[in-house]
Amino acid sequence: MPSFEDFAHPYEYDPKYKKSVAYFSMEYAIHQPLKIYSGGLGFLAGSHMRSAYELNQNVIGIGILWKYGYYDQTRKGDQSMDVLFQEKVYSFLEETKIKFQIQVNNHPCYVTAYYLNPKVFGTVPMFFLSTDLPENDYLAQSISHKLYDSDLAAKVAASILLGVGGAKLLDILDHQTDIYHLNEAHALPAAFYLYEKYRDIEEVKSRMVFTTHTPEEAGNEKNDIRLLNKMGFFCGIPLEEVREVTGLGGDILDYSLVTMRFSKRANGVSKLHAEVSKEMWAHHKGVPNIISITNAQNKKYWAEEELYEAAEKGDQTLLFKRKKLLKSRLFELIADQTGKLFDPNALTIVWARRFAEYKRADLITRDHERFERLLNNSKRPIQIVWAGKPYPMDFNAMSQFNSLVHLSKKYRNCATLVGYELALSRMLKQGADVWLNNPRVPREASGTSGMTACMNGAVNLSTNDGWIPEFARHGVNSFIVPPVDASLPVHDQDQYDLTNLLDLLENEILPVYYEQPEHWFKIMVNSMEDVLPYFDSDRMAYQYYEKLYTYDD
């Protein structure tokens, strides 16, 4: 049987980062060819694994090898989106030849692990679990088929695979793990595996830390304790003991709450989100201190070097020329998907991220008269692009996406794109002049797409949520929608934000872009410079050691 020595880091650990950490995440956006992610959680995890490698940290990644990925976003005959589940094959992953069993729904389930060598994409060593083995029946094989499967039993089984399977793999490899870092609560069964192993809740707490990524109800899983017990979520620990060690008062297990109770420390992913999280969990006992470690993205992977070279030289002509070339590359893809020819000289606004109701993808379109006026302004022309992948069973989000597809058909300067993954994300940020972000405050925990937009010469136009309060200087490096009274009805909040958003576009952004190019150049450069180094994930990876992993040392 292989040991961890066969998969060791290709470097000596920096003395600051010797404590060994196993990072558990349901998804990782590492590079376009490895399609095992859905959105921001994966983008964050991918950048973390890259920076941990660049800093010579003693970190490894544990995930799941999703046979069909999240899904491939394609189009139907009328251009509305379609969902394709297509088998993925990866020649760059190595078979570890490790095979072991876990219990799922009172049945043995065989698990294997695939290895991502650090030299492939510049990450720490990573292991991806799979149940797609001939020894398993189809139901067991399907556990590792689809990321965020809509079937409840499949989702529970995936958590068991990640948590129990990941923790057991570390034992099989004889990997001396000091810290188990759960990136969201999906891998909670790892805590019960460790409790069954040590029979000491304090020992588990000394080894576990937790990152919570969202205040949204849908992002904080809750399930019936009896179903979880039947599925094997608790590693055979009797229900009464589960109730005792988790502090459960009812029959519903809140994954995030219980993960916090098993952790020595937890963090939110921006300063604002940490405050929101503290308020959310304040009335619960046993919750550790929730600190803030603001999300960040990997500069080495994301930043457009030639834009930065022009900015460092203070060369406005060179910066604008490079940006126009990058816009033209995006516009070729837009033409290919939609048949529309966009103008590289026109102000281009991009809204691109996971589709969710609170993110309000269609907000800019809701005042029809003003929206028409913007689109038909020949003196100060604009172009708008939308992209993003709704959860394939979120029919409201899919309907919103399709409404934008059909709306875009009416205008030569609007486009809605499919296939929003790492490669398209990069192209959109390189091609955007304005990166539009308008969630309802304070429901966006972090929102890292705006960081990588900055690294590619786009200027943020945003509500003041997530990471933005830690970065934004209105009119200097970004444009910020004035704060709204969160006690107002949602409709009134939306109308207030919409009015202010359109006012900013008409009265500030468009005049500066078209009539004050020197000022626009300064805003672009300030945006590119201010996002670094704080919002480079090297800082984030350092802070995880400083504030989470070595806490109490």
Domains present along the chain, CATH in parentheses: 4-297+538-549 (3.40.50.2000), 299-535 (3.40.50.2000)
Q: What is the pLDDT of residues 197-221, one digit of tens each?
A: 999 999 999 999 999 988 776 668 9
Contact of 23 with 63, CB cutoff 8 Å? no
In this structure, which amino acid lies at residue 251?
A: D
Q: What's residue 218's pLDDT?
A: 66
Q: Is the dihedral of CA 61, 64, 67, 68 positive or negative?
A: negative
Q: What is the pLDDT of residues 369-401, one digit of tens each?
A: 999 999 999 999 999 999 999 999 999 999 999
Q: What is the pLDDT of residues 40-95, one digit of tens each?
A: 999 999 999 999 999 999 999 999 999 999 999 999 999 999 999 999 999 999 99
Q: What's residue 481's pLDDT?
A: 98
Mean pLDDT to the nearest integer, 137-141 = 97
Q: Which whole-number Å values give the CA distances from 323 to 141, 313, 319, 329, 509, in the listed order?
A: 47, 15, 6, 10, 17
Could you tell me the pLDDT band of residue 2, with boundaries at 50, 70 and 90? Answer: confident
What mean pLDDT value characterizes the chain?
A: 96
Q: Tell me: pLDDT of 291 over 70.
A: yes
Which class for 533: exposed (0-12), middle (13-18), buried (19 or more C-beta within 10 A)? exposed
* Residue length of the chain: 553
Q: What's residue 346's pLDDT?
A: 98
If we measure between CA atoms, which residue out of 404, 409, 416, 469 comes closest to residue 439? 469
Q: What's residue 268's pLDDT?
A: 96
Could you tell me the pLDDT band of residue 553, with boundaries at 50, 70 and 90? Answer: low
pTM over 0.75: yes
Q: What's residue 196's pLDDT?
A: 97
Q: Which whole-number Å values give the CA distances from 160 to 80, 100, 186, 529, in the listed order?
A: 35, 14, 9, 43
Residues 6+ away with beta carbon under 8 Å from 249: none
Q: What angle do CA 535, 311, 414 make, to 5 degrees?
A: 75
Contact of 265 with 209, CB cutoff 8 Å? yes
Q: Which whole-number Å values give the CA distances from 374 to 221, 351, 400, 412, in the listed order?
A: 41, 16, 21, 13
Q: Which whole-number Å values give the CA distances from 157 to 36, 94, 133, 147, 152, in the listed order?
A: 17, 24, 16, 12, 9
* Cα 552 from chain centre: 29
Mean pLDDT to the nearest integer, 326-331 = 98
